[in-house]
Amino acid sequence: MLYQPLSPVGANLLAKPLLRPTLHKPIRREACGPAPIVLAEALDDEVNLALWQRQLPAHIADFGALLLSLNEPLAESLSLEFDTEDAEPNLRGLASGFSDLQGYDGFIADVAWLVSAFACLLGAKRVGLRLRVLDKAMCPRFHVDHVPVRLITTYAGAGSQWLREGAMDRRQLGQAEAEPKDAALIQQMASGEVALFKGEKWLGNEGFGLIHRSPQPTPGERRLILTLDWLG
């Protein structure tokens, strides 16, 4: 599966000098689109979520569904080093227990492309990869991540949930009674979609990390989820 390579593109914001100090609340917004180039908008100071609204190729979606149907555990982590910008990620052995399933090679190629695109966009020298099968909500309460930025995608099962800015009082994060009761306020990623969630440690994003949580699965429901972290 081939996608067009991403180009790190940032927006330069010019501020006019003010005659007197003016207090204003910074704007935060999400960027969504059907092409992978939308992920580059995460480099914009105002964007704390970039969402690629992709549809998984059938052979990769089928692989994910087949893997979950086996009802086997999967929890793997890798720390990937990049010496040069065009270095290929070494995913040798990733989910090797499922390498005999149809679609495995396509799945690994897709993960490798996401890792390369993530590293290229951020100029990362080190990326942390986690691939897991989950049968419960790992982070059931709305929260923010204390990382610069995290890539997240669900290959099979329910996608992560998130809130637009202003949907919840940030001072009450982690408190069940403060979470939105109106389902219309809760956004949810579709299976296969790819997002960059900005966290609290992104320079200039302190206090504006994207608010999100894991979905609550129904009995017997499972998820195949990939996350990538910028480690340096």
Strand-by-strand arrangement of the 212-213 sheet: 186-188, 161-163, 212-213
Q: What is the largest CA-CA distance in the chain?
A: 68
Closest CA to 224 of 98, 119, 109, 67: 67
Closest CA to 75 of 94, 56, 62: 94
Tell me the average pLDDT across 177-193: 91
Chain position carrying tokens 């052995």:
93
Note whether 47 and 81 are within 8 A (CB). no
Question: Which domains does the chain possess?
Answer: 32-230 (2.60.120.10)
Note whether 24 and 56 are within 8 A (CB). no
Tell me the average pLDDT across 191-197: 97
Determine how β-strand 194-198 pairs with β-strand 149-156.
Answer: antiparallel
pLDDT number for residue 119: 96
Neighbours of 39 (CB within 10 A): 22
The token pair at 165 is: 């800015």
pLDDT number for residue 25: 54
Q: How confident is the model at residue 26 (pLDDT cuts 50, 70, 90)?
A: low
Could you report the per-residue pLDDT of 73-92, keeping only the tens digit for each?
999 999 999 987 667 899 99
In this prediction, what percent of the chain has a pLDDT beyond 90?
69
pLDDT number for residue 13: 30
Give the separation between CA 79 and CA 64, rounded to whole angstroms: 23
Please say if the pLDDT value at position 11 is more than 60.
Answer: no
Please say if the pLDDT value at position 220 is more than 60.
Answer: yes
Could you report the per-residue pLDDT of 104-154, keeping only the tens digit for each?
999 999 999 999 999 999 999 999 999 999 987 777 889 999 999 999 999
Measured distance between the N- and C-terminal CA atoms of the chain, rounded to whole angstroms: 28
Give this prediction's pTM. 0.85
Could you report the per-residue pLDDT of 150-166, keeping only the tens digit for each?
999 999 999 999 999 88
Q: Which amino acid is at 208?
A: F
Could you report the per-residue pLDDT of 30-68, keeping only the tens digit for each?
999 999 999 999 999 999 999 999 999 999 999 999 999
Q: How confident is the model at residue 7 (pLDDT cuts 50, 70, 90)?
A: very low
Please say if the pLDDT value at position 20 is more than 50.
Answer: no
Neighbours of 146 (CB within 10 A): 9
